Each structure stands twice: as C-alpha cells, then as structure tokens.
Structure 1
Amino acid sequence: MAEHHPSPPSPYATGLSGRCPRCGQGALFDGFLKLKPRCSACGLDYKFADSADGPAVFIMLIAGFLVLGAALSVEIAYEPPIWLHLVIWLPLALVVCLALLRPMKGLAVALQYANKAEEGRRRT
C-alpha cells in the first residue's frame, strides 16, 4: 500500500506568517528577529537558516522606492518646507522598514527550506 505524505505548506504562507516551513504550525521567531532553535510542533532544527542581509537589502529598496516616490510627489504638488518632509518621511520610512523586516526574513528562511538551499562548497 502506498504511503501518503501530506504536501508541504506554501513557503510564502509560512514565511510571511512566521511559521515553521516544514509543518506550518510552530513559531519561527523567538522575539522580533531572532530565530528559535527548533520548531515546537515538528522539531525541525533551524540551524540551516541563514538569511544574512538579503531581507534588509530588499526592504531598503522597496521602502526607499515607496517613501521617496511619495516624498517627491508631495514636493512637486505642495512644496512644503524641509522640516515637514523630515517629520513626515523619516518616521514613515522607519515604520515601513520595521513592518516588512520580520515577514521578509521569515520568507527568506522558508524559501531556503523549500529549495534546500545551503552554503556553497568547493569541490575537491
């Protein structure tokens, strides 16, 4: 009789929600950005996960594009003083970056698991 293996959960759904990439149940994070040592539901060891600076780079590009585009639109339409730009856009940039950081790191870890990505090694 054939053994039935359930299909793995979507890496996008588990990563963006901060869940285990294997079972989709256990929490991925212990704190804001620190990964737990292992999944509390299925026991998957998270030692394979190394998102490095990838999520931060993508977030800076996305947030920079959004915030700078909005700031340029406001400047062209209303020409507010520079202090008003600083009051509006610096906090917005901070909020956008912090809001995206955890989901993007979770997504990077989930995609690493789904694609069996690991550190490159030289053939000898």
Structure 2
Amino acid sequence: MAVEIGFVREQRSLWKAIGNGVLCRCPNCGKGKLFRSYLKINDTCAECGEKLSAARADDFPPYIAIFIVGHILVGWMLHAEMSGPVDPMLYVWTMIPAAIVLPLIMLPSIKGAVIGLQWANYMYGFDPTRGDTSKSDV
C-alpha cells in the first residue's frame, strides 16, 4: 500500500507565463514589471506581490540570443554570397553591428521568457514547498 505524502500544487499556465515574460511582465499576473532596469529583476511584483527574486536565469538567455542571432547572420551571409560578389566591407559595416545590437535587443524578452518558464514549472525558489533557494551556496 503506497501512501502519497505532500500536497497538490495548483497548475500554472506555461504558455501564459512565458508570454508574460516575453513582454517583460510578471509571469503570475501579467501586469507588473518584471525588470527594474535593463536586466535587473524586481524583488516582488508591484501588482500581485509575487516573489520574483528567486529567478535564476543565469547563462541560458544569452545562449539563446546568440544562437538565434548566429542563425540569422549566417543565413544573411549565405544569401549575400550566393547573390554575387560581395565587398568584404559589407560584412564589417552590417554584420558586426548586427551581431552586437540584435542580442542586446532580444535579451530582456528572452530572460523574461526563461523566468516565466521557471515560474510555471515551480523551479528554484518559485516552489512554495521548498525553503528559500534564491541564494545559492555554490
């Protein structure tokens, strides 16, 4: 005879939380601001009081941004090369600025989406059944 210990957590909408994160809004209510500056997360949501400081996005958002921009730029370069002779300075004046600016534009929305994913799946400090894991000893 198996005995289940614990309690049932309420189901959180994954796609709604990710969508709110992409818009840089609180994954819970979708109204409060997720960031207090460019990539600094608010400690709590001003609208619903959800604790946001537990988010641990770390290196995943920059990795996704670089992955996306890399594919865009390689496609752009292949198209340019197949269209005919290309002056190498075209790459200097277009690709290098794009490789710098595009990830910086994408990063807040991608970080918000990752935080929404974590919140919806009760990851890290977003799980009320676990202790405070917002500060790691690692």
Cross-structure match for 1:77: 83
Asked if 1:43 is matched to 2:49, the reply is yes
Deviation at 1:95, TM superposition (A): 2.4
Cross-structure match for 1:117: 123
Q: What is the 5 A alignment of 1:90-101?
A: 90-101=96-107
Q: Give the secondary structure class of the aligned counterpart of 2:124.
A: coil
Cross-structure match for 1:55: 61
Unmatched 5+ residue regions in structure 2?
1-9, 126-132, 134-138
Deviation at 1:108, TM superposition (A): 0.4
Unmatched 5+ residue regions in structure 1?
none
State the alpha-carbon separation in 2 of the partners of residues 97 and 18 from structure 1. Answer: 16
Aligned length, in residue pairs? 115
Deviation at 1:99, TM superposition (A): 1.7
Cross-structure match for 2:39: 33
Deviation at 1:78, TM superposition (A): 2.6
State the alpha-carbon separation in 2 of the partners of residues 55 and 79 from structure 1. Answer: 36
AA in 2 matched with 1:106: G
- TM-score, length basis structure 1: 0.83
Q: Which runs of 4+ in 1 moved over 6 A?
A: none
Deviations 1:40-95 (A, max 9, x none): 11111112101010011111111101111101210221322212211011112222
State the alpha-carbon separation in 2 of the partners of residues 12 and 117 from structure 1. Answer: 14
AA in 2 matched with 1:12: I
**Could you say what the CA RMSD is over the residues aligned between the two structures, in angstroms?**
2.1
- TM-score, length basis structure 2: 0.75
State the alpha-carbon separation in 1 of the partners of residues 59 and 32 from structure 2. Answer: 24
State the alpha-carbon separation in 1 of the partners of residues 30 and 47 from structure 2. Answer: 9
